[in-house]
Amino acid sequence: MKSFSPEQIEKFRNDFRAAQYPEVPVDHRERTYRYFVLPSKLGPKELPNFVFRATPPTERIRASETPEEDAVFAVSEDVREKFRCFAVTHEIEEFMHIGIETGGRCASAAETEVSMLRADEQLTEDEKAEYLRMRVQFFRDLIPYALARGDSYTPEDLEEFRGSLAVFERANVRDA
């Protein structure tokens, strides 16, 4: 996975705001982050429930007093509104707290995501199961998508995706 420069991140933010995509707050670890809701046509057709992130290198995040302002997150409008915060929080946990260079970060973020989902009192058990099925399918779709784009994804990225898939498959079986 790649990091982005401050200029690239600001361009994404400005472009999304100029296009008037909805911007939604989400709280995680005592900070309020914001994410955009993007039209599904902006994402790959193979990944209908996509999540987007543009984050700086980990050392820049760690040195920042306001890291929530140093990144851009987004989610497809195809993700049900009540589910969006969980998928976005996965990206926040993975890239803003664990760090892009840390092995196992994606599975660890998935564990956090599953814990948050299970603790949520607003969702029914059926909705939680639906969410887990959606995330299993997303990672099942992401792996062949990434394999077909070897110039954009490394073998380490694929292992990260497989780790998250395993977490969601276990959680899905447990909740079935």
pLDDT at residue 29 in the model? 86
pLDDT, one tens digit per residue, over 7-52 is 999 999 999 999 999 999 999 988 999 999 999 999 999 999 999 9
Q: DSSP secondary structure string, 64-91?
A: -S-GGGS-EEEEETTS-HHHHHHHHHHH
In this predicted structure, the answer to whether residue 176 has a pLDDT above a threshold of 90 is no
**CA distances from residue 64 to 45, 58, 59, 71, 105 in whole angstroms, order as listed:** 35, 10, 9, 11, 20
Percentage of the chain beyond pLDDT 70 is: 98
Q: What is the mean pLDDT of the chain?
A: 94
Domain limits of the chain? Answer: 6-175
pTM: 0.93
